Amino acid sequence: MLFMLIIVFAGYVEIVNLNSKDMSYRQKVLKAVYPAWMWLSKVVGRNKVTLSNSKEAPVSFYSLKAEQIDGGQLDFATLKGRKVLLVNTASDCGYTDQYDALQELHEAYGDKLVVLGFPANDFKNQEKGTDKEIAAFCKLNYGVSFPLMKKSVVVKSADQHEVFKWLTEASRNGWNDRQPSWNFTKFLVNENGVLTNYFEAAVSPGSKDVKEAIEK
């Protein structure tokens, strides 16, 4: 019986990943079980905190800069007038399939929303790849066309990326001291550079809460 279940599951994994390219078997399994993982996260109440705010930031969001995965520099001053969704990402995580929903947001909201991905290896070594490998993985398997930044550190530490220092220090953003709880934590900044929302990993980018915050 157990052997048959293993065979059936292996077949399911292959069917789900018919269009996947250059994925490890672990990545294929994670993609296959993603719906169940999201359901379980909601049931047990894990990684689903949402926070909101309207306080203006003491330090301007538009003073920030970040190096993109292709080597170019993104000046956040160019983002004025649009909402920005910043997400710490990883290729070997139970939430990796959220790349699909992030890409859908990028395409659906066009010039109204900028999605920025920040690959990081801060949680259980789930982003071991090089910048080149990460970019290829995202493009081949999820068609990612929104900007990805160079791999960096997003949790509080001496090496934390300056953008995430701003996102996780109330003295800079005006209210939030909470760092990413896991991969695919989401921070939403409005058209005026105000950090308005924090969504933990189990809150899907395609959820009602996220879309309502974008459309507000």
Active-site residue list: 93
| Burial (CB count <10 Å: 0-12, 13-18, 19+), residue 104 | middle
Could you give the angle at the alpha carbon of 39 between the alpha carbons of 200 and 25, nearest 5°? Answer: 90
Stretch (H or E) spanning 117: strand 113-119
| Residues whose CB falls within 8 Å of the CB of residue 196, separated by 6 or more in sequence, listed in order | 52, 53, 54, 188, 189, 190, 213, 216
Distances (CA, A) of 191 to 76, 128, 147, 162, 194: 12, 34, 18, 20, 7
Helix (H, G, I), strand (E, B) or coil at 124: coil
CA distance 53 to 25: 41
Residue from 89, 108, 107, 109 nearest 99 by CA: 89
Contacts of 139 (CB under 8 A, 6+ apart): 145
What are the tokens at 121?
């290896």
